Structure 1
């Protein structure tokens, strides 16, 4: 795993970027609806090298999209937007656009989590349309 840090002096922040080969790591999804956890505590409990908040949650701490843990689905799939990380029985992870490849309840995954916006797609393509420059020089490209 490669780790890079970029200092953003104007924001007084440091951005940490991790780059890794997905096939070299075990992927799991954890979910405890209604019982939020601190990521550092979850990492200590699981012994995971990396723990990431993978979705959005309601005020009641339930996921707004579909989550699959140990093959058991919870929640409803996003339709026409967002993305999904899926993990098969062999532990292989893949990223997919739900606009291009909607979820079907007939699929069987060991683990999965949905979120939005989909920042990137397979093959390095943007997962959202670029923002138009409105003449202020601040449009995303």
Structure 2
């Protein structure tokens, strides 16, 4: 099975009624080249957020990581829910694809920090300091 044929379900779970695959297997109603037009028709809430994560992954995989970063950055600013860490993980991957590794590490470690049994505050602070000027 090639990368474009792998179901996204394994990584993020599949939203009800959405047969989402990355790359060439992207459903017609969520094509990367039509995402801006299709975005307003996406479901709301968790299902929409899953679709954004999946689409951003597809965009990164087909060579449009900048667009992936844009979508995921906007998604992080929309609000908070149980998919925050998935959005952060996808954004960190997209940032590495555009050469912003330090920011990617900051986001990934920041997301991880809240799950640590100890050193949550110091880890979160170190993550923040990776991208903030001295």
TM-score past 0.5 threshold: no
**Which one has the largest radius of gyration?**
1
TM-score range, shorter chain: under 0.3
**Which structure shows the higher strand fraction?**
1
**TM-score when scaled to structure 1?**
0.24
Which of the two has greater helix per residue? 2
Higher relative contact order (CA 8 A, sep 6+): 1
